[in-house]
Amino acid sequence: MVTSSHSRPGTSSPAGSTPPGHEPHGSLKTTDRPARPVPVLSSRRRAGNWIRKRGLGPYLLLLPATAVIAALILWPAVQVGLFSFQNYGLMQISGVLPAQWIGFANYSQILHDPEFWSSLKISLYFAVAVVPLTLIVGTLVGLLLERLGPRMRTFVSISAILAWATPAVSASVIFAWLVDPDGGVVDWALEKVPSWLGGGPSWAGFSWTNAPLPAYTVLTVMLVWTGFPFVAVTVLAGLRTLSPELHEAARVDGAGPWRDFWKVTFPLLRPIFLVLALLSTIWDFGMFTQAYIVTGELGNRDEYNLGLYEYSQAFTQPPHYGLASAAAFVLTIILLIVTVGYVRAAIKQGAFA
Amino acid sequence: MTSVPISGRAASGHPGRRVRRFNRASRKAVLNLLGLLVALFALFPVLWMISTAFKPANEIFSLTPQPLPLHPTLANFQAVFSGSVIGMSYWNFLKNSLFVTLVAVALSSLIGLLAAIALGRFKFRFRTTYLVVLLIVQLLPQQALVVSLFIDFRKYNLLDSLVGLILVYTAFALPVTIWMLRNFAATVPKDLEEAAAIDGAGAWTRFWRILLPLISPGLVSTSVFAFIFAYNEFVFALTFLGTDTAKFTLPLYVQYFYGQNSTNWGAIMASSTLFTIPVLAFFLFTQRRLASGLVAGAVKG
């Protein structure tokens, strides 16, 4: 990989990345297989042999994918790093002034920006709330699915998969409607709930999206709703790989379902839980679309999470691409740290053994 | 919730058969009830969206919301199709979305297949490195790269262009596509190919007759995955298509619709229904395939 991405670092042009798509057509025919010497040598075959002898086949096959990924993902990632040390803004993007290297000025400006810290706090609290909730709800549903009859199980899992498959934009718009102060069903229902349960008439016309806490409460429910089916279905698949004798043995030894879960099921499925936790963390910490729509399109600065904060630096006037890049870099680093943490945990548990 | 199963198991130890049967029946009833609650939680928002889409305005803002429309109407859908609300019909945006999505799926499948064959059927230096880099690439958050891509696209006149979106969707669908297809490619037995080679089949024949048919289930899964990713994608569309309404894809259209008429819930839900239902139908249709593909891609990796 390193070699091939090295070979085209300058071609940031996405347009430049399409033509290579044609090359492997030819190469595929000829280079595909090592194996046996073939007696008849057409010119095509001779070229094939040449490539084969040097072991170039796989590299040619990888060329288009590498070019596309390098030009449209790796290079932009490098560029974000570069921009984060430049004063790239309106003047620079329109070519009036050249970009200047300004060292860590962008980072220091961000780290002194209270909005950055409040957005980071929101992202962290949100992930800390949503990830465990999603995992708990999903696991409980997975355990439930395992105990249901086949028909009921199919029905419940298909319903759940539909929630998971609902596009983020639709989910956001639907939840915005559910919690709308005028006509939304949530306020109506809360109004009917007796006051000793926290309901009551004060909920009439309650606006959920005008302050961070209620807005992120809505987002929490929404992301648990979106996320639990994946956990449930994955856990169910994991549960079905465990042999029933294990549970049998635990029961004979006097373990109830609680101990059975923690002593038998959980340790055996730990790799699955680690992966699920990692994926949920990445999705929830990096949430953008849902927050963008529910908190009102960058309109409420006190409701920014890290993703919105970063995006707003670049795409509200005047644009600060340098600052946005620094924020993006911070966001990426946090996610990488989280990932490395999970991977280390997984290795320690022997998940990859 | 977890404590429910106890009743059945704990009882099975000593007491009489009748108690046991009763316990089993009540346990089953409780479990089914919980199952129904989960299904309701999962389905409610979607059902509410569909139901609202068919409601006339006075029912939408009624003081006691009804689960189903009392006087179902198609007015909301007519508004969406005629484009009377934002000046352009739903069809225009569906066309954009399908164009972008289908081309991106075709490109990423083709390019991904080539790479997967290299990674699944060949041994070479950097193979493991390549796979690890693909994993890392998947972790890069899209909204972190969008700034940099925006500046590049501006330079190369790819803003307000569906071609630009196709490029990005192709690239971002590739890592997962390659990972999943690689596992399929790796599971095709070498013997099959060698036998065919002995029978005189060239590389091209072996590809068409052996490798491709055996990888094609994987190709279906990855296409479904890429389709759903591209059809639903929002951040890139929002950033790259910013000003040109006519080029909007469906997710952007639904969000724009919502932003422009935040009280016309009937029409918003109708537009959202028309955007969502095809995905859900597609999912129902392919979910078994998809699940097996995901499992094959994830577990065997």
Chain A environment of B62 (Cβ under 8 Å): 183
- What pLDDT, on the 0 to 100 scale, is given for residue B36? 92
Run of H or E residues at B100: helix B90-121
Touching check for A126 and chain B: CB below 8 Å? no
Q: Which residue of B has its CA nearest to A153?
A: B35
Q: A12, A13, A33, A79: which to substitute to probe chain B, counting the most B Cβ within 10 Å?
A: A33
Asked if B35 and B89 sit in the same domain, the reply is no
DSSP-derived 3-state class of residue A272: helix
- What pLDDT, on the 0 to 100 scale, is given for residue B292? 55
Q: Which residue of B has its CA nearest to A1?
A: B130
Nearest CB to A160 within list B42, B60, B140 = B42
> What is the distance between the alpha carbons of residues A115 and A102, in angstroms, rounded to a whole number?
22
Touching check for B16 and chain A: CB below 8 Å? no
Query: In chain B, how many domains are there?
Result: 2
**CB atoms B156 and A166 under 8 Å:** no
Q: Which residue of A has its CA nearest to B47?
A: A174
Helices within A185-320 (DSSP H only): 185-192, 212-239, 244-252, 257-260, 266-285, 289-294, 306-315
Asked if B164 and B25 sit in the same domain, the reply is no
C-alpha atoms less than 13 angstroms from C-alpha of A117 in its C-beta half-sphere: 6
Distance from CA of A332 to the nearest CA of B (A): 6
Touching check for A53 and chain B: CB below 8 Å? no
Q: Which amino acid is at A166?
A: T
Stretch 75-114 of chain B: residues touching chain A, C-beta under 8 Å: 107, 110-112, 114
Touching check for A307 and chain B: CB below 8 Å? yes
- What pLDDT, on the 0 to 100 scale, is given for residue A350? 62
Chain A environment of B295 (Cβ under 8 Å): 237
**CB atoms A33 and B203 under 8 Å:** yes
**CB atoms A167 and B251 under 8 Å:** yes
Asked if B142 and B249 sit in the same domain, the reply is yes
Distance from CA of B296 to the nearest CA of A (A): 12
Q: Which residue of A has its CA nearest to B224?
A: A165
CA-wise closest residue to A163 among A97, A229, A74, A68: A229
- What pLDDT, on the 0 to 100 scale, is given for residue A2? 34
**CB atoms A80 and B147 under 8 Å:** yes
DSSP single-letter state for residue A319: P
DSSP-derived 3-state class of residue B27: helix
Is B46 inside a domain boundary? Answer: no
CA-wise closest residue to A291 among A307, A269, A312, A272: A307
**CB atoms A328 and B141 under 8 Å:** yes
Chain B environment of A297 (Cβ under 8 Å): 259
What does the radius of gyration of chain A's CA atoms come to, in whole angstroms? 26
Asked if B108 and B207 sit in the same domain, the reply is yes
- What pLDDT, on the 0 to 100 scale, is given for residue B300? 37
Long-range own/partner contacts, residues A255-258 (CB < 8 A, 24 or more apart): A256/B6, A256/B10, A257/B2, A257/B3, A257/B5, A257/B6, A257/B9, A258/B2, A258/B3
Distance from CA of A208 to the nearest CA of B (A): 15
Chain A environment of B127 (Cβ under 8 Å): 58
The answer, yes or no, to whether ipTM is higher than 0.90 is: no
Chain B environment of A289 (Cβ under 8 Å): 234-235
Touching check for A9 and chain B: CB below 8 Å? no
Q: A148, A162, A310: which to substitute to probe chain B, counting the most B Cβ within 10 Å?
A: A162
Q: Which residue of B has its CA nearest to A168?
A: B232
Expressed as residue numbers, the domain containing B231 is 80-299
Intervals of chain B under pLDDT 70: 1-22, 287-301
Chain B environment of A45 (Cβ under 8 Å): 202
E-only strand ranges, chain A:
none
Asked if B154 and B227 sit in the same domain, the reply is yes
DSSP single-letter state for residue A97: S
Touching check for A35 and chain B: CB below 8 Å? yes
Q: B37, B148, B168: which to substitute to probe chain A, counting the most A Cβ within 10 Å?
A: B148
Q: Which residue of A has its CA nearest to B257?
A: A173
> What is the distance between the alpha carbons of residues B248 and B280, in angstroms, rounded to a whole number?
21
**CB atoms B158 and A141 under 8 Å:** no
Q: A169, A222, A225, A276: which to substitute to probe chain B, counting the most B Cβ within 10 Å?
A: A169
Is B20 inside a domain boundary? Answer: yes
**CB atoms B1 and A178 under 8 Å:** no
pTM over 0.90: no
Asked if B26 and B110 sit in the same domain, the reply is no
DSSP-derived 3-state class of residue A54: coil
> What is the distance between the alpha carbons of residues A209 and B191, in angstroms, rounded to a whole number?
61
Touching check for A315 and chain B: CB below 8 Å? yes
> Residue A88 has which token pair?
């790239």
Length of chain B: 301
A vs B: CB pairs below 8 A: 320
Nearest CB to B144 within list A183, A258, A331 = A331
Q: What's the N-to-C CA distance of chain A in angstroms?
A: 25
Q: What is the pLDDT along chain A (353 residues), one digit of tens a residue?
A: 333 333 333 333 333 333 443 444 434 444 455 555 555 556 666 666 666 666 677 788 888 988 999 999 999 989 888 888 887 777 777 777 777 788 787 888 888 889 899 999 999 999 999 999 999 999 999 999 888 888 888 889 889 988 988 999 999 999 999 988 887 888 888 888 877 777 777 777 788 888 888 899 999 999 999 999 989 988 888 888 888 888 888 888 887 888 888 888 888 888 888 888 888 888 888 889 999 999 888 878 888 988 899 999 888 888 888 888 999 998 888 888 888 888 887 777 665 54
Query: Which residues, 6+ apart, have CB-to-CB distance to B60 below 8 Å?
Result: A183, B52, B265, B266
Domain ranges (residues) in chain A? 2-78, 109-348
Touching check for B150 and chain A: CB below 8 Å? yes
CATH placement of domain A109-348:
1.10.3720.10
Is B66 inside a domain boundary? Answer: no
Touching check for B130 and chain A: CB below 8 Å? yes
Chain A environment of B114 (Cβ under 8 Å): 24, 28, 61-62, 64-65
